[in-house]
Every structure is written in C-alpha cells, then in structure tokens.
Amino acid sequence: MSWNVQGIVEDALVSSTRAIQFDRDGQYEVAAFYYREAARFLELAVSSTADDGNKESWTNKAAEYKMRAQALDQLRLNQQAAEQPMVQSESQKQLQQCHFLFNQALDADEAGNKDEAVQLYTQAVELGISAMSSASDPELQNKLNFLARRALERAEELKGIMPQCEEKPSSHASVRPKLCPVPEHTTSNVTVRATAAANRGAVKPQLHRGSSAHLKVAGGQETYTEEEKRVLLQTSHINQKEYVPFMSVDLGERFQYSLPFTDRDGHLALSPKQRRDFARWARPDEICPEPKMVVGQHVDCFSIKQTVVSDCSFVASLAVSALYERRFGRRLVTSIIYPRNSKKEPIYNPFGKYMVKLHINGIPRKVIIDDHLPVGKHGELLCSYSTNRGELWISLLEKAYMKVMGGYDFPGSNSNIDLHALTGWIPERMAIRASESDFNADALFDKLLSRLHKGDVLVTVATGEMNEAEADRSGLVPTHAYAVLDVRKIKGVRLLQLKNPWSHVRWRGNYSELDTKHWTPELRQTLNFEPNSAAMFDNGVFWIDYDSILRFYDVFYLNWNPGLFSYTYCIHQSWSAGTGPIKDAYNIGENPQFRMEVQPGASGAVWILLTRHIKQIEDFKENREYITVLVYKNDGRRVYYPYDPAPFIDGVRINSPHYLCKLVLNENSAHHYTLVISQYEKTNTIFYTLRAYATCPFTLAKIGSPYKHTQKVSDGQWKGVTAGGCGNHPTHLNNPRYQIKLESSHNNNQILLDLRGPKSYQIGLEVICVVASDQNAPGIFKKKHSGPFRSGFVVMDLEDVPAGTYDIIPSTFMPNQEGPFILTVKASCQFSLARLQ
C-alpha cells in the first residue's frame, strides 16, 4: 500500500505543534500524547518514502519527541505522587463505618425488618463508643457521639425499652419516608408471576426460570428437575472457585464486620503488564479521602478508562451500559452491585465487602469480592477506573468479572459475552460481510438507528486483523472493541459515534476531528460538534461514517432488552461426549432435542438462545466447541437425519458461548417445532442452557425417549446368499431376518430400529407384520419400509404399534454387497428378539 508521505509529515507537524503548546501550558499528559503522535507519523513517513534525503532528520526528530514524552510522563507521575491525598485516620474510617451501619439500620427499619434494624443500630452504637475512646479530634468525637446516641435511642424504642413520646422529638422522626425505587427493568404491562417474600426467610428460596422480573415463565415445569440442579451445581465451579446461583435470600447478605473484609479466595492473579508496575494492593480509603460508589446522580460513560488489563470488550460494555442509564434514567449495570441503600442505589462500604450479580452459565450468580485494588509504583491504579476521583463502580465491577474469569490475566472475550454477564440482555452477533450478496448493510444500519434510540439494544463494534501501517494511518486498533454511543442519519449521511475504551487513540479518516472536507456547518450544528475543539485533546470519542465501518470493522455485537418480550422459559442440560457420533454429518438422532409449541395462529417472535457453560479460562483462550441450534418444522417429533427433513433454520456453528436463533411468526406459521442442539465435533461433555423469549405464550420441553428396553445385534452380516439386496431383486427374501415379539397388552407401543453398515453401501429396513394381537387396532399394518436407502445408516421409528409378532429385514440396495452390520432395536414395552435366517 502506498501512502501520501507529504500528508503524513503534515500530520506530524500538526501533532508536534499541539504538543509544544500543551507542554508550555503545563498540560503534560496531553503534551506527551501529541509528542508520541508526532513521532509515530514521522516513523510512518520514514517507512513509506523512498527518498533518503529526509529519513535521517525525521528519525532523529521522532526520537527527540519520544524522549520528551517519556520525560513528561515521569514528571506527571512525580507530581501525582507528591499530590497524593492524606489517607483517612483510623477514627475517620470508623466514623465512615458508623455512618454505613446507621444507614443500613435505617433501611432495615424502614422496610419493617425490626430484628435486623435493632442489630445494626446496636453495632453502630458499639462502634461509635469504641471509636470515641480513641479519637483525639473533638469535632470527630462529637460526630461519633451524635450517631451513637441516635442509634441507641431508636434501638431502645424498637425493643420497647423507651416509650415513644410525641412531645419529645426522637430519632424515629429522622427515619426516612419510604421512597419509590428506580425500576431495574423496562416497564411492562405483563403481570409478574412471583415476587420475593417481603420478610426475609419467610419462604425457602428457590431457583426460578425467569431471567427478568417482568417476564412470565411460559408453559413448562416451573421448578428445576434434579438433572438441571446437577448441571447448575457442576457449572457453579468456574476456575476452581464456586459461584452459587443468586437468590432472594442473598439480598440479606451481611456487609459489616469487626475488621475490614478480605476475600477468602485471595488476591486476583495479575497480568504481565500489571506485574511489571505493581507496588501493592490498596483499599479505596488508602488512595483517596472520600471514596464513593457513584459520583453524581448517574454513572458517566465518558469517565471510564481502561488501563493495562486486556478487557477492551468489557470496558466498552460498561460504557454502553452507563450511557443507557444516563439516557433513559433506568438503572442497569449499577443494579447488580451490593450493598445498596433504600433507593436501591449501590453505596460505598467502608467495611470493604461487595456482592455483584452476574449472569453466568445460564443464571444470575453471586460473586463476592473485597475492595483491594492493584496500585502501581507511582500510586496509579493498574485496573480500569473512573476519571471522577474516588468513584469505584468501574474498578469493582471489573474486579468481580475478572475474578470469575480467573484473574486480571484475561485473554479477552467479546461484548456479547460481557454485556450478557452484566445485564442479562440477549446477545446477538452480526458479522460485517460487505462483500457478500446476502449481507444487507442498509437494513443493519436502519435497525441500529431506530432501535438504539429506543433503548431496545446495547451495541459495540469490533475491528478485525490489520497490518501495522493500516492501523497507524487509520488510527484504529486491530481486534479491538469500541462502544457505540450514537447513530445518526443527517441529509443522507450515516454516522456512528464510537468510544475507544482506552480513552485515547481515535479514528483519523472521514468525519474524524482531522477531516476538513466533510464537516459541513449543518452537520456541526446538528451534532453539536466542533472539530477544532475536539482535536485539542484525544478522549477516544469520535464520529465515523458507516461506509468506513463496513470497510475497517469486522463485527457488531448487539445485546437486546428482554423487555421486548413477555414470556420466557429455560432448560439446563448436559451433553455427554460419548453420546452419538463425533460429527453430525449423517445422524443427529442422539443429539439433545426439544419440542416447542406456540398457539395456532399466533403472531410475533420467538428468540432461542443457546448458552454453553464455561468452567475454565481455557474455554476463552482455546475454544474449540462449535455449537448451534437447528430448527425443524417436524411437528415436534425427534429428527434423525440432519437434512431430512431439511431444517427450517440451519444454524451456523460458532465457537462463542452464545448462539441466538430467531423465529418470526404469523397466522400461517407452523405451531410445532423441533429444536436440535448441534456441535461441529463432539470431543468433550458440555453443559448448556436453552432459553426462549417470546411475545406470545409457548411451551418448551425436552424430547425424551419412550424406549425402556433395548437389544443389539452386533454380529450381523450380509454374506453370500444373504446379501440379497432390496425388494426390487428376487434375492431380497434371502436377506438376514429377525423376529420381534412385543410383550404388551396395548396398541400404542413404540419401536425404534437403528441399522448401521458400511458407508459405501446404501442400506434400508423393512418390517412385516406376522400377526397382531388386535386386528382392529388403528395402527395395524402389513408392511412398512424405512424409506430411501441411505449411506451406512438408517433409522425406522414406528408409533402406535399393536402388540404382536413382526419380522425385520435389513438389506443393502444392491445384491451381493457383503459386509457387517449392527442392528439396534428399542421398544417402549418388553420384547423378545430372535434371528430367523
């Protein structure tokens, strides 16, 4: 690829001019960034030109700029170290803990939990008295005394020791009125099937098949089967740690201790980049004077900054979740952090313990962490953090997620996985295949434009592989996730606003802040964007046109709001590696299969999400499990051949933990479907969850096996005269013949015949009724055939078979085709099987 060297040098000049100006103004971080940008452009010019005349001067200047950037970095770090805030004294920490206990007591008091409130008030009194004895500051002593007195008065009042007196104002008047909580989920007119008991412990907690509070659990068994409980127990163990299902009883988790809480699982493993600069683990009150969970009324996507942890997709997921909260006023990502106050807002806990609810392995799970964070040699945080000083939600959510994933040494995932874990929203992957005829780029943009603004979807977009020169020139990072903040269409111009999780390094092409050609006055005014102002500092946020997205990016990750649906149901299962053939090329009869039924004439949508459970970090590093869902219009019956009948939806096998399949229904649609789980190669036992979301009522159930009795003929063979061929040949009657006698008093027996032979032969089965016990049975027949002869494998499934005696004839299509075969006979009733010839 040839570059415009003159343009690259001009870019270097612009960057160096800005660097020098910021350097003079004392803005060292910005100046260092632009010095490095100038050096990068000069190095690119050197590698792109054949003119040796300027190479030496450009190389020397690039080295000079990089040295100045390093010097400014060191100067800035020295300043930060000198400006480190005074850490809290032990008495100040105890005052903060006393406040926390008192506020928790007020919340319990307000909720009517008398015993819990008394216990918390008492703890606040004891801590306040203890702290007063050691505090030397009179003002601090007064604050502790005031809190302890209020707590004591209210505790005694609740215990009936001190009668309530209307004339004397008591601390009871300070108990806050009950406030309406901010809704955690999209509002819906759907009736909630069940809610948690008002009083903790009143009802034994149970796992529930719903995934959001508003969704009705569709037709099917509401409680989990023993098999499902075993699956959920097995996959509670992730990376050698246990993460149990999150249940209503966990809302009573204890967050206050006599000593600051330390996670019994120990510190998280650090990444190599973290270990290089690591100095210590520190709690928030050791690195800032007033830690807060959230600064201000809402979380801010622009304050999120990724550092040295390789989790760009996770940080991008935090950004789009934070933007959703601010834009729509509904808590999403902050609703999963505990402890919370009575308004269900997450709060800073001076005792250092936090609980995070993550959707992992099919259900919400409970993740406990402490507040130790990795700190570098110059006092800088070595994890993602908020640029709002003292704000913790970003660092704590990242720590909880990294704990589940095995530590900060994280190989990376994608935003579908990360956003589903954070929010439970439905993941969908949309590959950008601009060169393929069936890829509808216009429809995709229109979907993003309309649905993002409604709050129906959270979106990130990721680049693919790029060579170094292309990445340098475009300003994009290869294989990197970006948060999609906005989508606009103005006078035919299609634009997206993206944010790099690094909070620096931006797009340099069309509609970037460097573009002097495309930014019309109307566009600037409509988007409230001034390129010259934006160019003054790189915060990682930029506009880019949709055509450039299609050229430089690889995939959109969409996570859909479950509030779009009214009904849900899920099933948790395992699939043994030894069940069925390794590949699904010719036989899927032993694959897990499910029957789904919708009401006749129903219109709407059913989305089916297959989630493979993760147990080891290697599942991300070297994921070789390719899974999908196949959908058949087969009246809900078991399917044996992958393409007979042809699948209604032939799923693409992907090595992501999530696969989404969509059905759109109208009044003429089928109302019985068969869902088949499929893998590219079955090498390991997998655990998975199959969940359906629908706008109309439906039922979903596993297709079980009615066959209680099995016999296998392992030594069958066509040889010599017994290689008789199909019924078109007079030698057909010479084929091996077996007789089965159904020992039953019913007429609704079921038989399954499974014949396997050399793949080079076309083989088939024939069943002849010798005698039926009930000649008037509706299912009686004289002869039945397995249908078209098939290569090496054929199945015959017979229903409503009357009790009696039947002959089974396995054959090849052509006579004189000699070879072994295996015949397996299964039946719903007892039977005897004998060879006749």
Is 689:360 a contact under the CB 8 Å cutoff? Answer: no
What is the C-alpha separation between 233 and 244, in angstroms, rounded?
A: 8
503 Cβ contact list (under 8 Å, min separation 6): 304, 305, 306, 387, 539, 540
The encoded tokens of residue 597 equal 């039924």
Q: Which residues of 333-364 are buried (b: 16+ CB within 10 A; e: fewer)?
A: bbbbbbbbbbeebbbbbbbbbbbbbbbbbbbb
The encoded tokens of residue 675 equal 């869902």
CA angle 654, 656, 661 (to 5 degrees): 65
The number of C-alpha atoms within 13 Å of 275 and in the hemisphere containing its C-beta is 9
For residue 11, the surrounding DSSP H or E stretch is helix 5-24
What is the C-alpha separation between 349 and 355, in angstroms, rounded?
A: 11
655 Cβ contact list (under 8 Å, min separation 6): 623, 624, 625, 626, 627
What is the C-alpha separation between 445 and 431, in angstroms, rounded?
A: 13
> Amino acid identity, residue 210?
G
Please choose, from the candidates 492, 475, 485, 482, the residue with its C-alpha nearest in 3D space to the C-alpha of residue 554: 482
The encoded tokens of residue 41 equal 């452009």
Please choose, from the candidates 684, 661, 681, 653, the residue with its C-alpha nearest in 3D space to the C-alpha of residue 575: 684
What is the C-alpha separation between 389 and 300, in angstroms, rounded?
A: 13
Catalytic residue numbers, as ranges: 312, 480, 500
Is 346:293 a contact under the CB 8 Å cutoff? Answer: yes
SS3 assignment, position 780? coil
What is the C-alpha separation between 674 and 665, in angstroms, rounded?
A: 15
CA 203 to mean position of chain CA atoms: 30
User: Tokens 């009904």 correspond to what residue?
Assistant: 567
